[in-house]
Structure 1
Amino acid sequence: MTKLFIKIDDLSGGEVIALLEEHLADMFATSPPESVHALDVQALKADNITFFSGWMGKDLAGCVAIKALNSTDCELKSMRTSRTFRGQGVASQLLLFALEHAKIAGFSSVSLETGTQDYFSAARQLYKKFQFEDCGPFSHYTLDPNSHFMTRAL
């Protein structure tokens, strides 16, 4: 497994924008519109969100974001691995980086929402591997049969 170069990203690069557009398209193809909670590029530029991109040389391998919900809790957003790099440990590296960044930033917990469909089973397995536990809706979310909520302490 090659180590990623992960950086805070300003969301201005064409590769990052294309990956996020692919992510949104897949979310809308997999879940009913009212159950899609993925953020577009503009929403990811909010002041309470830190967006990271992961690179293998000149190639974008994936991305992840942390959204501050309050002073102690944050949410994982826009976790995505480029198709070319799937199965190579990119998601694990991005997740570990995001968790460490959240801890250093002073957050005590990180939560996430992902889908319940089979398409999201690999993501749910990854999160369980990193000690995320199932939980109920948090922040602005409500119960939804298409949403799976998870959290972990930092």
Structure 2
Amino acid sequence: MHLRLDDLRGPEIRALLEEHLRNMREISPPESVHALDLDALRRPGISFWTAWSGADLLGCGALKELDATHGEVKSMRTAMAHRNKGVARAILERVMQEARARSYGRLSLETGSQVEFQPARRLYESFGFTYCPPFGDYQEDPHSVFMTRSIGRA
């Protein structure tokens, strides 16, 4: 598996992100879908990584800067054909490595509260994320859960 900082221009990533947004809209009501589209992921302050095996896109994830000391995990997605192979774990490790390099003190995320998101919540829990109130611009939402953890320096 090879992880790379991605410019979000390839057709493979466009297709994976479209699948991600479509799936989020199937599970959650529109006001509870916080996944970012391609344009939003290209904004300054967001770094985006993809995981590859040869020419095969395995998954993706992003780090959004909330402020100089706080980052947010965004757009974590593993391609359906590559689930349960450690892709999300590798991407999350890379995101956390970058958060440490930026000297963030905290890394947070929003994910769904529905049963479909249980594997993601278990992954985040295994990395030391704990449940917290909404952060940043988020509001309380029965379809969302919020998680956070302290980040040590690189």
Q: What's the TM-score bracket when you normalise by the shorter of the two chains?
A: over 0.9
Please give the alpha-carbon distance, in whole angstroms, between the structure 1 residues aligned to 2:117 and 2:13: 21
**Structure 1 residue 125: deviation in Å?**
0.4
In structure 2, the residue matched to 1:57 is 54
Residue identity (%): 48
The match for 2:22 among 22, 25, 47 is: 25
SS at match of 2:67: coil
Q: Tell me the CA shift for residue 97 of structure 1.
A: 0.9
* Structure 2 residue runs without a partner (length 5+): none
The Cα shift of 1:108 comes to: 1.3
Using the size of structure 1 for normalisation, the TM-score is 0.97
How much has 1:117 moved relative to structure 2?
0.4
| Residue correspondences, number | 151
1:133 maps to 130
Report the TM-score when normalising by structure 2.
0.97
Q: Does 1:69 pair with 2:62?
A: no
Distance 2:11 2:99 in 1: 26
Corresponding residue to 1:35 among 19, 25, 32: 32
Cα distance in structure 1, aligned partners of 2:95 and 2:25: 25
Distance 2:94 2:29 in 1: 30
Cα RMSD for the two superposed structures: 0.6
| Residue number in structure 1 paired with 2:83 | 86
Q: Unpaired runs of 5+ in structure 1?
A: none
Q: Which amino acid aligns with 1:52?
A: W
1:44 is matched with: 41
2:113 is equivalent to residue 116 of structure 1: yes
Give the superposition deviation at 1:16. 0.5
Aligned equivalent of 2:12, options 7, 10, 15: 15
Distance 1:55 1:26 in 2: 21
Residue type at the aligned position of 1:107: Y
After TM superposition, where is structure 1 displaced by more than 4 Å over at least 4 residues in a row? Answer: none
CA–CA distance in structure 2, aligned partners of residues 8 and 93 of structure 1:
13
Cα distance per residue 1:87-144 (max 9 Å; x no partner): 1111111111110111112211110000000010000000000100000000000100
Q: State the SS of the aligned residue for 1:69.
A: strand
Secondary structure at the counterpart of residue 49 of structure 2: strand
Which amino acid is 1:89 matched to? G
In the TM superposition, residue 58 of structure 1 has moved relative to its aligned partner by: 1.3
